[in-house]
Amino acid sequence: MFKRLRKKSIFLVFIAIILILAVVYAEDVPAFQSPTDNPETKKCDGKITCYFGEYHKGIDVVIGQGVPLYASADGVVTSIGPHWQNEKDPKEGYGYHIHIDHGNGWVTTYAHLQERSEEVIGNEQVKTGQIIARMGDTGLATGFHVHFEIRKAPEINSEGDVLAGPDNTYLNPLDYIEGMPGQAKATADVPANDHPDETYGISDEVFPPVSGENKHFTVDKYVGVFNEGFSNAASEMVLRNWNAIGLVPIEELVNGIIVEDLKYYPIMIIPTAGLHGLDNSLTFRQKLGDYVSAGGTVIVFAQQHGYEFNALPGGEVSGYGWNEDQSCHTNAVYIDTYHPIFAGQDSATLDASVDGYLTQWPSEATVLLRRTKNQMPAMVKYGYGQGEVVVLTFFTDWNYGHGGWTQDEINLAGDMIF
């Protein structure tokens, strides 16, 4: 009996030690948040474009050029400034960057910042969610994004600079932050297993080089991109040309988070193929309707089948999808009813990537564009509550990743968003 009690006592002591160590360790880890999370919004802003791995010791998150970046946790700025390309520089390619020491050996790095956009100085105390800089593409960056690292016990030199290596000091940020942005869906991820315009293969998706020259980017309000269908193409189209973005997973739509963030997400894009499988979901239609009724604007691109438009608020939109029609490009549509969103057009006939047309729409809807070949609507808009729904049979977003979009489409998409 005493032997059993002794074993039990040893076991309890062992458990107690484990619990104590767990508490100590938990207290040691700062409460990190995403560097792109606007503290005033409930959803995660932006999207992850590159994950942590053997040759990439952080994560890349993109929202748009000049978007504010936030301190991931309380700490002290140890160093700040540019790193120019130099083969002897272990941090080659970081561009403008900031390192923050969070105590107990925890350090975060924010790289590829917009040139001279820093809003903090060396040795400054910062708080979680405080703006520290803006998103850029300095250093060896292929586009606007922030490269974000979490490290434990890295070497810091006398100037406060965090030195590279060893590898075990780099930690995967996704293991320490809840609610990070998601990853958008590329061509090969779309459950429709199909795409408009059979000229291209399903795996082809290459986006044009990014340039901020002569562009005005909106950063105080985000365009929500519904994370179904070709959401990667839709988000790249928006963030590279006009506006900061945030992915909207179906769970956030159904749970009403996007409605709560309506002030920051006044527009939501449903990408090409984004309604696949949702035409019979009354919950989706209701929740999307809640967003529009509260004052949101939904812009919907082409779908595989015309009946998938039934998922939109009111359930009165239907027609032919790209799987039921032939795509057109040159002089594909013409303006039926003039609207300010056509201010960028220099002709009543548009060259555009169109595949499908509408056969049913709400009686109060306005037909804006019609197909040249059959005079059927290719773009309508209708009010719903305090908001608006804009439906197109264009696949502009998908075509952005395939080098096929036209100047008419660029002008139209930009004027719709602004």
Confidence of residue 262 (pLDDT cuts 50, 70, 90): very high
Distance between CA 315 and CA 9 in Å, rounded?
66
Q: Evaluate if residue 268 carries a pLDDT over 70.
A: yes
pTM: 0.86
Give residue for tokens 């520089």: 89
User: 271 with 234: CB under 8 angstroms?
Assistant: yes
Give residue for tokens 């269908």: 229
Residue 240: the pLDDT is 86
pLDDT tens digits along 131-190 = 999 999 888 888 889 999 999 999 888 777 788 878 889 999 999 987 778 888 876 677
Distance between CA 106 and CA 104 in Å, rounded?
6
- From residue 2, alpha-carbon distances to 7, 9, 12 in Å are 9, 10, 15
pLDDT tens digits along 67-110 = 999 999 999 999 887 764 443 344 458 888 999 999 999 999 99
Distance between CA 303 and CA 64 in Å, rounded?
27
In DSSP terms, 350 is beta-bridged to 333
Task: Calculate mean pLDDT across residues 308-331.
Answer: 94
Residue 178: the pLDDT is 76
Which pair of tokens denotes residue 357? Answer: 């047309």
Residue 408: the pLDDT is 95
| Strand arrangement of the beta sheet that strand 349-350 belongs to | 243-248, 218-226, 267-270, 297-300, 387-392, 377-384, 366-371, 333-335, 349-350
Query: Which domains does the chain show, CATH number per domain?
Result: 47-175 (2.70.70.10), 187-417 (3.40.50.880)
Give me the chain's average pLDDT, please.
86
Distance between CA 290 and CA 259 in Å, rounded?
7
Give residue for tokens 């903090």: 120
